[in-house]
Chain A
């Protein structure tokens, strides 16, 4: 079992995860941000590596991707930065689109993940056949977990497939939406309740549109926890990052 799987065993409820884009606001902010998030008792951390054309993302994450690329962030630089991170107990997840991974080479990418404390990866545009062919075996050897997304329009037979492939958690997209939009839990109640049944026994984390104590708490009623991305990145915008800045945000969510 890796750190992420242990976490789900140890603490099945109210998990708070924070997503940020590597290289944003400043190129060298990656490592300090991870350390501040650890100190702020975030349960696990999602690091996004930037891509020029992030299809599933709204304006906030588009802007952080753009800025990170302008700052000079690349996937190889991110691994170089991560190699200087002292061992941490908080699980780390890497998230990004497939093209930068293809350019690095899938075996090299997975090897780099295994060397740099990565417990799981999320690739939103990774088809199942590619996962089975190029990722599944090596990830299992390296003890890296897989995470797949589901949405309100994911068909039932596909949910079953996702359940089979998942070794980490299912990323529950709160709505048919891009990142950073508001979520209407009332509208999604049926969908979320259905998932509790269909994906019983699989950890579920809700993302997209979680931004304040209310949305976080509501999400936790339907899943093991929630991921906050855009709201956190908006909080960092135009600031020099500091432990205080990060702690303020986490406290404002957890109340």
Chain B
């Protein structure tokens, strides 16, 4: 468990660095979110959707072939089996439901890989809310299937054509849209980023992942895992997988960043490895930026990790030396994706493949048990896989 102080800080990270135009929106949310989401009524509805609609608990699968290959016990937390294909739905349903409780009439969201966009559009279809998704022009191109899904679900998909035309700019556009309709619009942020209370709220909604892992391991006769490994862009699946292990020092928490073409190139999204403290999208955290404080355009083959910042909770846990940060290149992620596909018959999302790539980087002992959060499935990445592996 980890919660911010009353101003939304985790140590020096987090906070709410927002222009005045957003103050009322954010303040309203800060005042209301805990009251609503911890209420019995909300929890009953939310938990019932998680169980019967999302398909939770997701399996904790002992990947025997992968285990044998690496000589350690590897468990996969199958978030890829969630409805819509990734963990993003846990948070999307929670926030759209919260918006309903708050009496909001319209939902907006940003999306990178499209998973959060699809999850939000799905929750909006389910809960009957109009939905507008902002998506970078470049991501619209490389995640066509998800764009079609969002449209079929009834969402308006608005291209973000400013800046690097990816997740960062989609987020800027969503915030600008929110500024212009503070009263009726609710902004569903998809990761543990943004001004307080978003990081806390998204972490709470995703913490179901580690809650289940803990129970499922105990059912299988294991007290705790030696390692929990997850990929990080903004960091929502990672915090979900880490949450209930944070205060258990025996479990090592490994966050894998996207190194893109390599951390020594300019084409990377390895935020903690290369970043400096700064402010983006309303919170203080590590960012990849110039000496002058201009945010760099990140690069990763995986659109979901293509973000120049990271959630303030992760920056805090990193400074506390509670999480270890590794990075995996585009190439390493692709190899790990193919390996899992061939060994286990599971095609992972490119994002999750970064977590799998860490198996080659950690000096495990034979009796170690490792949990990898398989945050999403690879359907949306078939174009990329096809181009790289050139199947006919």
Which residues of A are at the interface with B, using a C-beta cutoff of 8 A?
A: 50-53, 55-56, 58-59, 62, 66, 69, 74-76, 97-104, 124-127, 129-130, 148-151, 153-155, 158, 173, 176-178, 181
Contacts and interface: CB of A to CB of B under 8 A. Distances in A.
Nearest to B161: A59
A101 B289 CA distance: 13
Contacts of A51: 293-294
A176 B180 contact: yes
Contact of B16 (A74, A127, A150, A178): A127
Interface of B: 7, 15-25, 27, 162-163, 168, 172, 175-176, 179-183, 276-282, 287, 289, 291-295
Contacts of B183: 153
Contacts of A52: 163, 294-295
A124 B176 contact: no
A191 to B, nearest CB: 13
B21 A151 contact: yes
Contacts of A59: 162
B182 A99 contact: no
Which 5 pairs across A and B sit closest by C-beta, in order of nearness? A100-B293, A103-B293, A153-B24, A149-B20, A74-B292
Contacts of A103: 276, 278, 289, 291-293
A207 to B, nearest CB: 12
B297 to A, nearest CB: 9
Which of B21, B23, B181 has most chain A Cβ within 10 Å? B21
B17 A98 contact: yes
Contacts of B15: 127
B187 to A, nearest CB: 12
A11 B27 CA distance: 37
B179 A99 contact: no
A135 B336 CA distance: 49
Nearest to B282: A125
Which of B279, B280, B291 has most chain A Cβ within 10 Å? B279
Contacts of A124: 19-20
A125 B279 contact: yes
Nearest to B295: A52
Nearest to A162: B20
B276 A151 contact: no
7 contacts: A55-B19, A55-B179, A99-B289, A100-B292, A101-B293, A103-B276, A125-B18
Which of B19, B276, B287, B291 has most chain A Cβ within 10 Å? B19
Contacts of B292: 74-76, 100, 103-104
Contacts of B282: 125
A62 to B, nearest CB: 6
Contact of B20 (A75, A76, A173): A173
A150 B277 CA distance: 28
A102 B23 contact: no
B17 A177 contact: no
A178 B174 CA distance: 12
Nearest to A153: B24
B179 A176 contact: yes
A177 B177 CA distance: 9
A148 B179 contact: no
A151 B168 CA distance: 25
A127 B17 contact: yes
Contacts of B278: 99, 102-103
Which of B176, B182, B281 has most chain A Cβ within 10 Å? B176
Contact of A55 (B16, B175, B181, B182): B175
A56 B179 contact: yes
Given A69-B294, A98-B17, A173-B21, 6 more contacts: A55-B22, A97-B279, A102-B293, A103-B293, A176-B181, A178-B179
A102 B290 CA distance: 12
Contacts of B22: 55
Contacts of B7: 129
A97 B175 CA distance: 15
Contacts of B175: 55
A101 B295 CA distance: 13
A229 to B, nearest CB: 14
A53 B280 contact: yes
B21 A99 contact: no
